[in-house]
A and B are shown apart, each in its own frame.
Chain A
Amino acid sequence: MSPISSRLKNGLILSVLWGFSHTAFAAAYDLREGVTEMSRRIQGLHHLSLGVCVVVGVIVFGVMFYSIFAHRRSRHPKSADFHESMAVELVWTVIPILILVGMAIPATTALIDIEDNSDADLTILITASQWKWHYQYIEADIGYYSNLATPTAQINNLEPKGEYYLLEVDNPLVLPTNKKARFLMTSNDVIHSWWVPDFAVKQDAIPGFINEAWTRVTKPGLYRGQCAELCGKDHAYMPIVVEVRPEAEFDKWIDDQRLARELASGQAVADREKEWTMAELMPIGEQVFLSNCATCHEPDGLGQGTTYPALAGGEIAIGPLEVHLDRVMNGKADTEMQAWAPQLSDRELAAVITYERNAWGNITADVVQPRTIYAAR
């Protein structure tokens, strides 16, 4: 037997029938094992139900194919004349019920454990919006946004795609090992769904409601997932990355975040005191625009039809400054244009508005200062 077909055969027999997933073959075709107790139990449940389905399929199709072969007209010219049998009907009603009970028991016990959200060691509020995640550590009072980090050039096939194309973010969620982390999920706009396959956690984030889920990860590492519920244009571009660190490193990370927040507030004061020039703001603004605004308004500021209006020569971008400031900072209600004031710093907002008013042939010559933004908040 050739190595490939023997690997194929081994993989099939092992993974499908008995649920071992050690061969390379099985790993590519199997539900992943993951890194939590729940993900492993769910994989076991998957193997059980798949095994039952394969056995049922083999028996039913086996009988059928035998009949197709042996009872075809050329071999079996005269058909039998039997029909209606209460006994047979009872047998093929009762046996499936017993099999179903056998599957329902482990599913029920696993589900009861999954739905037990009590006794968490730390709680993280996950707020979804189009098309990013916000993580808030309730106890440590730290919060930040997590955005797609894959460059647009890779998406548009202008650059080779990286190893973690579409599964990379700027700021991953950080979790400690061996702690029960409870997630509270909600959304600011439409329904999203937070899913990390290695944790077997998938929970919808619904505007106006808070859902719960939890995980406990034993192995440090980077785990990747995606938004699972259609949430508009950039549904494909809303990845999740979780970095699990040993407990001591996690504590240090929390301290670092607190320090960084203080430094940032010092930086914000300095930004307000400084008089910025257009030459300083434009490159910062361009960067902010490309990473936050260009997905809808396009890098050339031409937008996409009436849904995502053009900024080049756009009514607001060359109109009165106050209106422009208000639109960027507070967004437009009930549209995908969200409020950016909570998401960007004074300097970033000042820079991006300055950029929009002076790029792509817009010539307002307005230079927006961070202190103007601060005053408008």
Chain B
Amino acid sequence: MVTRTEDLIPHRSPLLAFIARWLLTTNHKEIGTLYLWLSFTLFFIAGAMAMVIRLELFQPGIQFVQPLFYNQMVTMHGLIMVFGVVMPAFVGLANWQIPMMIGAPDMALPRLNNFSFWILPFAFTLLLSSLFMEGGAPNFGWTFYAPLSTTYGPPSTDFFIIGVHMMGISSVLGAINIMVTIFNLRTPGMTLMKMPLFVWTWLITAFLLIMVMPVLAGAVTMVLTDRHFDTSFFSAAGGGDPVFFQHVFWFFGHPEVYILILPGFGIASQIIPTFARKKLFGYHSMVYATASIAILSFIVWGHHMFTSGMPLMGELFFMYATMLIAVPTGVKVFNWVATMWRGSLTFETPMLFALGFVILFTIGGLSGLMLALVPADFQYHDTFFVVAHFHYVLYPGAIFGTMAAVYYWLPKWTGHMYDERLGKIHFWTAVIAVNLTFFPMHFSGLAGMPRRIVDYSPQFVDFNMVSSIGSGLLGLSQVLFLYIVIKTIRGGEPASTRVWEGAEGLEWTVPSPAPLHTFETPPPFPPVMESDVNE
């Protein structure tokens, strides 16, 4: 007999019951929902900060914000987007989907799951509260290079450090939970090499998380002791080295950027076969390519530091290692294309976002290859070319990936079909706006505009105006997304069990909406798919 949280909550005031339900829940679907709403909320907060940045950069000169506040916006935008939007969104998707995709009743460690989530609102409240402190919020960029963050950091840096520690604990606990779930709770018959790719990519991501989040924790702890306890890890005056900070940070930071993209690869690998009505071309090579990317991510961190005075041998090693990443990444892209080849393609919103993901992520990947060439990197480094590059991999990668996943699984979660017409409008607005915002940044970077500057020479004004206009449109398009999601939750055409004609996998064998508790006994695998279609 399973004891359920909802049975434990006394039915007194509805408000109390509501709070208790969400505060005490150990259900993977409810916790997934909490993660996704937190991510969505922070997406609008960090997006508003991007709007401030783009508003100020619309023209040369100081118009709206002072330089110090601008630097705070740059820093908080990056930190919140990375740690508050993309990571919680992926954990939310993992919570909802992994148990349903492997035929498990819940996550393996439900109470830990609740704890992992509830750390986060406090961590981000702490981080955001620094905006209202004397001296302002952290202003040294999300990379918090020493000594700008140590000796010269504002007092709120300590709140940032504790906030990062809390996010790190949450991520590690979440990753452990996902690993334990995947290794122990798969339905009989689902061997590792039969797992859906979303599960595979998340398993590999979880390994990356438990390996690098402690490294980040070490970095922020050393910043803390340099600031307050007279250590000199990053201060040459005391025998330390500011560049050592960069090594530690990027040893975390490069695997981190793959943490932000691998689940997106998994999502695209679920969606493209569904709407091509054809099996993924190379399942095995997709798994091996993901693992190769993850392993290579540990030996390329130096490519963020080519201008820091690295010796020739170091530069060559990191250049070659970085170029190698293009190989498994290419394998993935070619596989998606081969999956589409001679399929029977339809273009519902999830497919549109998945295709947007593949194309635009590939553009970002190709500019990454250009950045790997050390001599050329001397020109690109720390310019808007880099800003263009990583926004191309992160926005169409992580964000479009998440949106594709939400459209794909929302009918399963809510039991309603979303509004297809609005979904398509959302996609086309977002895809035009993303390119309008980020493509001109390649050119402003090549022309010589450094990143993270509040004011610039008038020669860059045309590109910046286009970027700013694009970003406004991009911001508006996400308000439409919010509307579509709320509308779908409140009602809509009922979704069938399988939802999509070509969908394969255990999650499409449970009713829509998925009941709170699914798979209390392990389902048969391979699943028996209903062929009822929602049309």
Contacts and interface: CB of A to CB of B under 8 A. Distances in A.
Interface of A: 28-32, 38, 41-42, 45-46, 49-50, 52-53, 56-57, 60-61, 63-64, 67-68, 71-73, 76-85, 88-89, 92-93, 96-97, 100, 103-104, 107-108, 110-112, 114-115, 154-157, 161, 164-167, 189-191, 193, 195, 197, 200-204, 206-209, 211-212, 225-237, 304-307, 334-336
Interface of B: 60-63, 66-68, 71, 74, 134-136, 139-141, 145, 147-148, 151-152, 154, 235-237, 241-243, 276-285, 307-309, 312, 315-316, 319-320, 323-324, 326-327, 330-331, 333-334, 337-347, 355, 358-359, 362-363, 366-367, 369-370, 373-376, 378-379, 381-383, 443, 446-448, 450-458
A92 B315 contact: no
A68 B358 CA distance: 13
B343 A80 contact: yes
A53 to B, nearest CB: 4
Contacts of B140: 230
Given A111-B312, A157-B62, A236-B453, A79 B282 contact: no
B375 A107 contact: yes
Given A50-B370, A161-B458, A202-B379, A193 B307 contact: yes
A114 B378 contact: yes
A111 B317 CA distance: 12
B151 A334 contact: yes
28 contacts: A28-B447, A31-B376, A32-B447, A32-B448, A49-B373, A60-B362, A71-B343, A79-B278, A79-B342, A83-B281, A84-B283, A85-B281, A88-B282, A92-B330, A103-B369, A111-B319, A115-B315, A154-B61, A157-B63, A165-B60, A165-B458, A191-B145, A208-B242, A209-B243, A230-B140, A233-B139, A304-B68, A305-B136
Contacts of A79: 276-278, 342-344
Contacts of B324: 100
Contacts of B277: 73, 79
A70 to B, nearest CB: 9
A195 B375 contact: no
Contact of B341 (A71, A165, A225): A71
Nearest to A194: B307
Contacts of A335: 152
A66 B369 CA distance: 25
A60 B333 contact: yes
Closest 3 CB pairs of A and B: A208-B236, A236-B453, A53-B366
Given A50-B370, A111-B374, A228 B383 contact: yes
Contact of A77 (B147, B152, B344, B355): B344
Contact of B450 (A112, A190, A227): A227
A100 B326 contact: yes
Contact of A93 (B145, B327, B341): B327
Contacts of B367: 53
Contacts of A71: 276, 340-345
Given A68-B340, A115-B312, A208-B236, A42 B448 contact: no
A78 B458 contact: no
A103 B345 CA distance: 36
From A81, A85, A103, name the one whose CB has the most chain B CB atoms within 10 angstroms: A103
B63 A190 contact: no
Contacts of B145: 190-191, 229-230
Given A103-B373, A161-B458, A236-B454, A230 B340 contact: no
Contacts of A57: 362-363, 366
Nearest to A61: B359
Contacts of B446: 29-32
A17 to B, nearest CB: 15
A84 to B, nearest CB: 6
B308 A206 contact: yes
A164 B344 contact: no
A161 B309 CA distance: 36
B283 A83 contact: yes
B61 A108 contact: no
Nearest to B147: A190
A228 B453 CA distance: 9
Given A64-B340, A68-B340, A204-B307, A230 B355 contact: no
Nearest to A168: B457
A121 to B, nearest CB: 22
A234 B453 CA distance: 8
Contact of A63 (B236, B337, B345, B456): B337
A81 B276 CA distance: 11
A233 B453 CA distance: 9
B167 to A, nearest CB: 22
A73 B276 CA distance: 9
Contact of B237 (A50, A89, A208, A225): A208
Given A71-B344, A165-B457, A56 B134 contact: no
Given A79-B277, A80-B342, A166 B376 contact: no
A156 B237 contact: no
Contacts of A305: 134-136
A197 to B, nearest CB: 4
Contacts of B373: 45, 49, 103-104, 107
B378 A157 contact: no
A67 B358 CA distance: 14
B467 to A, nearest CB: 15
B83 to A, nearest CB: 19
Given A57-B363, A157-B63, A206 B135 contact: no
A67 B315 contact: no
A166 B307 contact: no
Contact of A193 (B235, B333, B369, B382): B382
Nearest to A66: B341
A61 B450 CA distance: 31
A318 B138 CA distance: 32
Contact of B376 (A45, A76, A82, A211): A45
B148 A190 contact: yes
B243 A206 contact: yes
Contact of A200 (B340, B363, B379): B379
A33 to B, nearest CB: 11
Given A81-B279, A306-B134, A41 B152 contact: no
A49 B376 contact: yes
Given A53-B367, A57-B366, A202-B378, 19 more contacts: A49-B369, A53-B369, A71-B342, A79-B344, A80-B278, A83-B282, A89-B285, A103-B323, A104-B373, A107-B376, A108-B316, A111-B312, A157-B62, A190-B147, A204-B308, A235-B450, A235-B453, A237-B67, A306-B135
A67 B456 contact: no
Given A72-B345, A84-B283, A197 B443 contact: no
Contacts of B152: 189-190, 232, 334-336
Contacts of A233: 67-68, 71, 139
B382 to A, nearest CB: 4
A29 B375 contact: no
B280 A83 contact: yes
B442 to A, nearest CB: 8
A231 B316 CA distance: 28
A185 B518 CA distance: 63
Contacts of B342: 67, 71, 76, 79-80, 82
B330 to A, nearest CB: 5
B355 to A, nearest CB: 7
A157 B455 CA distance: 12
Q: Which of B140, B370, B454 has the most A CB atoms < 10 Å from its CB?
A: B370
Nearest to B501: A73
A114 B311 CA distance: 11
Nearest to A206: B242
A110 B312 CA distance: 11
Nearest to A30: B446
B337 A60 contact: yes
A80 B147 CA distance: 59
